[in-house]
Chain A
Amino acid sequence: MLKLPIYLDNNATTPMDPRVLEAMIPYFTEHFGNAASRNHPFGWEAEEAVDYAREQVAKLIGADPKEIIFTSGATEGDNLGIKGVYEMYASKGNHIITCTTEHKAVLDTCKHIERSGGEVTYLEVKADGLVDLKELEAAIKPNTILIAIMYANNEIGVIQPVKEISTIAKKHGILFFSDAVQAVGKIPVDVNKDGIDIMAFTAHKMYGPKGIGALYVRRKNPRVKVTAQMDGGGHERGMRSGTLNVPGIVGFGKACELARLEMADDAARLSKLRDKLENALTQIEETYVNGNREHRLPHVSNISFKYVEGEGLLMGFNKNIALSSGSACTSASLEPSYVLKALGLGDDLAHSSLRFGLGRFTTEEQIDYTIKSVSETVLKLREMSPLWEMFKEGVDIDKIEWAHH
């Protein structure tokens, strides 16, 4: 029996895998020690568990356990990675290159740096959402210290040419930071093969708990340091003070291990389901897939249904299917998705988009239900849409002088 509601918003957060929860439970009550307590068994147990989890996390991304700094999540990782490099390498320069489709945690961190005297270049992306490597290289200046480009985008799922970017960074002696929240645990990420120097990721996007993440900081070729943004007891090699969230870290470790072992199977299964969903929905006329379809996460699809508005569309089924929209109305800002606008989509298409984020627990039955529900609602709302009627009558909607409000 199909159980409702169906969760297809796995880019926002994932449910925790029951095996992760099982691993965590003893660390709330039985093994509750502070991992920094060096003088008794409670502390030793906690430290041992953290060490083990650190290995599990490191192994997933091909890093050394010493290169893993635990954080509260990727927002903190983005802040620590970018501000930490900016402060640590101030004598080398003050210029950072990023792109317009980054997560707000990166963009707002960069704005903060600009306010404090730094210089930031925001690269436009191509219509498929990918960074133009020539433009990237052309943006490098003598005072550039960091390139910050995400691994995969949260709204459209496109995967940036990370290896090519790191090659450029290396050639110019610049550090490369990547927000890899959406990629780690979903596709193979290897900090050495990919040439990443600093990388932020988080547990709750890969079936782990919320409130725990990590920042990878390279120790060799080159040895990277970041200035702490949180002062205190000198935890995490002095880069991030604060008592370690032991149960969270244990869960994160378990989630990483599961991802390492099951990623390939999950990805193969989910990309089939995603393609089934996408192929069925794009049978509806005037629908458009947003972003590069080749360089894309296996479980993500972002589709614009022209002439219907995203929030109105969601309302047709959001009691039964959890999805998100690039439409303005779903957020407080009333501005449609800046990511979709950065691809050059008109505001109308940005307003008409839905993001489908499949996950480990998505079933074919759920996808079939979603195809039916979304298709029916699109057709129903188009019957109600003055724009659809005009389109069908051959009226050029772009030529109408709309009263902007």
Chain B
Amino acid sequence: MAYSEKVIDHYSNPKNVGTLDKSKKNVGTGLVGAPECGDVMRLQIEVDDATGVITDAKFKTFGCGSAIASSSLATEWLKGKTVDQAVQIDNMDLVEELNLPPVKIHCSVLAEDAIKSAINDYRKKNGLEELAFEERIH
């Protein structure tokens, strides 16, 4: 199975690899997946409290090229969006942008889960109610 150009590009030059200070109140962290399943993503957002805009996003991913590309692209999309806008990111947008084949759709689902989990962590830290998301099976 050949990878799309975009997947190769994100894999070779991943954007926003790194770690934000999770002790900060305006940093939300999402850690999803499991080592046994062959992919774990950690996605973090830093939010400007005044505007609700995501000013920084970082990821680290254990997984295949498509998982790395999905999380790299997700962090790019997150930056500059408000938290409310970020909630709207759909895994199928990632699939489309990266040309993921059906067998790799679960990578995009994981990235969407990581975004939502990071947002909920941020909301929880700031005394907001966690958003309910439907259970995804991937």
Contacts and interface: CB of A to CB of B under 8 A. Distances in A.
A346 interface: yes
Contacts of A388: 62
Contacts of B40: 386-387, 402
B48 to A, nearest CB: 25
Given A329-B38, A332-B103, A347-B38, A402 B33 contact: yes
Chain B's interface: helix, strand, loop or mixed, by majority? Answer: mixed
A309 B39 contact: yes
Contacts of A351: 35-36, 38
Contacts of B60: 384-386, 389
Contact of B35 (A312, A315, A402, A405): A402
B77 interface: no
B33 A405 contact: yes
Contacts of B65: 311-312, 315
Nearest to B39: A309
Interface stretch (B11-19, B82-90, B119-127): B11-19
A308 interface: yes
A336 interface: yes
Contacts of B36: 346-348, 351, 402, 404
A397 interface: yes
B131 interface: no
Interface of B: 3, 8, 11, 14, 17, 19, 31-42, 60-65, 67-68, 103, 106, 110, 137-138
Interface of A: 307-312, 315-316, 327-329, 332, 334, 336, 346-348, 351, 383-389, 397, 402-405
A316 B138 CA distance: 25
6 contacts: A312-B11, A327-B64, A403-B32, A404-B34, A405-B34, A405-B138
B4 to A, nearest CB: 12
Contact of A328 (B38, B68, B137): B38
A287 to B, nearest CB: 15
A370 B110 CA distance: 32
Contacts of B41: 386
B66 to A, nearest CB: 8
A386 B32 CA distance: 11
A5 B34 CA distance: 33
B61 A384 contact: yes
A207 B17 CA distance: 44
Given A309-B63, A387-B62, A403 B39 contact: no
B11 A315 contact: yes
A388 B62 CA distance: 9
- Counting chain B CB atoms within 10 Å of each CB, which of A310, A348, A383, A386 scores highest? A386
- Counting chain A CB atoms within 10 Å of each CB, which of B8, B11, B62 scores highest? B62
Contacts of A328: 37-38
Nearest to A346: B36
Contacts of B31: 386
A348 B17 contact: no
Nearest to B106: A405
B35 A329 contact: no
A402 B68 contact: no
Nearest to A389: B60
Nearest to B7: A315
A-B pairs with lowest CB-CB distance, top 3 = A402-B34, A348-B35, A347-B36
